[in-house]
């Protein structure tokens, strides 16, 4: 294959939460026409399998005991591959613009004169809401959605959590599984009721998905039940509407008598 040194480009592509049927058509086409594929730890084997024969496949995230690459290393690798004239696809879980480092990567590449295109994807919060039957906004109940992450600094939750006290805000918390105790303490201290409905959703999107209904006050205990998959936490009145497939069947059989 001959490559035009001028034609190299990088596509930052959202793969959605896992199953390939939750990828956009544009994302599928991007992977199918990739000449180099760099993929994160949460990317499914089915998505990687869409890459054509001959495509260079490089895993950048922790998986099966292998270490993650540093961001600098990933940036330099994308640049090198693009400068060879390759069509580089950087495949990320969910949506690349939500905790996906899309800003850093595109600034780096564009700064080096490499054209960048972003392909959106279904973010974990949307996948979780769709799968377990709750909305993220709801008329008269949830007028805002806050996509946030929770990070500890010296044992306490970093950042300003005053927005979390707003009873009309749905909080969608990424990467919060490990700090659920601190998170719930901080939100209660900010003024949110401990009785606020909450859910943790593990491995949202696919058949392995699990729902852990709880409240803000019992969040840490609920997180203790999870099995090591990626977990998204949703806190807000809308979480009271969450139903697992089992709940739905039970409700149906009760209704039918």
Active-site residues, by number, are 40, 62
Nearer to ligand SAH, 8 or 230 (CB): 230
* Least distance in angstroms from the C-beta of 225 to ligand SAH: 15
* Phi, psi (rounded to 5 degrees) for 2: -95, 140
CA distance 203 to 69: 23
Of 11, 13, 15, 18, the residue at the interface with ligand SAH (CB under 6 A) is 18
Q: Tell me the CB-side half-sphere exposure of residue 13, using CA atoms within 13 A.
A: 29
Question: Taking Cα atoms as reference points, which of 216, 208, 207, 204 lies closest to residue 240?
Answer: 216
Q: Binding segment for ligand SAH among 19-27, 67-75, 98-106, 240-248 (CB under 6 A)?
A: 98-106
Q: List, as one string, the DSSP characters of 199-219.
A: EEEESTTSTT-EEEEEEGGGH
Question: Taking Cα atoms as reference points, which of 16, 246, 219 lies closest to residue 126?
Answer: 16
Residue 174, interface with ligand SAH (CB under 6 A)? yes
Q: Is 92 exposed, middle or buried (0-12, 13-18, 19+ CB in 10 A)?
A: buried
Which residue lies nearest ligand SAH, judged by its C-beta?
Answer: 94
* Least distance in angstroms from the C-beta of 31 to ligand SAH: 16
Residue 175, interface with ligand SAH (CB under 6 A)? yes
Q: Is 238 exposed, middle or buried (0-12, 13-18, 19+ CB in 10 A)?
A: buried
Residue 93, interface with ligand SAH (CB under 6 A)? yes
Residues contacting ligand SAH: total by CB under 6 A: 21
Q: Binding segment for ligand SAH among 81-89, 94-102, 133-141, 190-198 (CB under 6 A)?
A: 94-102
Question: Taking Cα atoms as reference points, which of 108, 67, 107, 115 lies closest to residue 88?
Answer: 115
Residue 232, interface with ligand SAH (CB under 6 A)? yes
Nearer to ligand SAH, 197 or 205 (CB): 205
Nearer to ligand SAH, 151 or 243 (CB): 151
Residue 213, interface with ligand SAH (CB under 6 A)? no
* Least distance in angstroms from the C-beta of 54 to ligand SAH: 28
Footprint of ligand SAH (CB under 6 A): 17-18, 42, 92-95, 98-100, 123-124, 174-175, 201, 203-205, 230-232
């Amino acid at each position: 294959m001959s490559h035009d040194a001028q034609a190299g480009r990088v596509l930052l592509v959202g793969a959605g939460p896992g199953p390939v049927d939750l990828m956009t058509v544009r994302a599928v086409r991007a992977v199918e026409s990739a000449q180099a594929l760099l993929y994160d730890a949460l990317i499914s084997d089915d998505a990687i399998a869409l890459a054509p024969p001959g495509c260079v496949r490089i895993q950048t995230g922790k998986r099966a005991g292998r270490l993650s690459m540093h961001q600098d290393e990933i940036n330099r690798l994308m640049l090198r591959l693009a400068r060879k004239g390759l069509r580089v696809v950087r495949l990320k879980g969910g949506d690349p613009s939500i905790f996906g480092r899309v800003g850093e990567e595109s600034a780096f590449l564009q700064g080096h004169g490499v054209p960048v295109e972003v392909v959106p994807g279904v973010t974990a919060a949307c996948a979780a809401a769709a799968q377990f039957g709750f909305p993220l906004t709801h008329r008269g109940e949830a007028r805002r959605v806050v996509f946030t992450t929770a990070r500890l600094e010296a044992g306490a939750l970093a950042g300003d959590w005053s927005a979390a006290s707003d009873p009309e805000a749905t909080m969608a918390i990424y990467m919060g599984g490990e700090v659920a105790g601190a998170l719930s303490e901080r939100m209660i201290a900010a003024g949110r009721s401990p009785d606020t409905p909450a859910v943790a959703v593990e491995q949202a999107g696919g058949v392995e998905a699990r729902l852990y209904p709880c409240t803000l006050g019992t969040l840490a205990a609920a997180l203790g039940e999870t099995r090591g998959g990626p977990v998204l936490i949703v806190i807000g009145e809308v979480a009271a509407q969450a139903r697992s497939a089992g709940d739905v069947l039970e409700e149906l059989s009760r209704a039918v008598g």
